[in-house]
Amino acid sequence: PPAVPLPEPQSLSLPSSRMALLRSGPWQVFFHYGQLNASHAQAEALNFEFTHGATPISLDPGTVGYGSPLHTGFYRKGAAHNVPLIDGEGQTPWQPGELLHFSPTRAAARQP
């Protein structure tokens, strides 16, 4: 049978994972505003990624395996992610984050 085309991505809020996707024309912003619990938390709340069409503008580097020294030495820190830094540091200690506003073209969040 012929392939069924996927629907166009729409802006959406995913509160159970503390994530939101904003889409307007060819622009997409993926926004991660917090963590549900501290067990797998990284200092990445308020992290964002931008794409224009198929072109990545700003990407998060992700992580490495838990056994790597880079996991705790770099990837769990704010400097490894696209997050606001204060005095070179990301948020600490862990906080769940809060989505203050969401619409198809805007999102606002805070990380205490």
pLDDT at 80 over 80: yes
Q: What secondary structure does DSSP assign to 49-105, as a single string?
A: EEEETTEEEE-------TTSHHIIIIITSGGGSS---BTTB---S----EEEEEETT
The mean pLDDT of 35-43, rounded to a whole number, is: 77
- 78-101 average pLDDT score: 82
What is the pTM (predicted TM-score) of this model? 0.76
Between residues 55 and 93, which one has the greater pLDDT? 55
| CB 76 within 8 Å of CB 92 | no
Q: What is the average pLDDT across 33-45?
A: 79
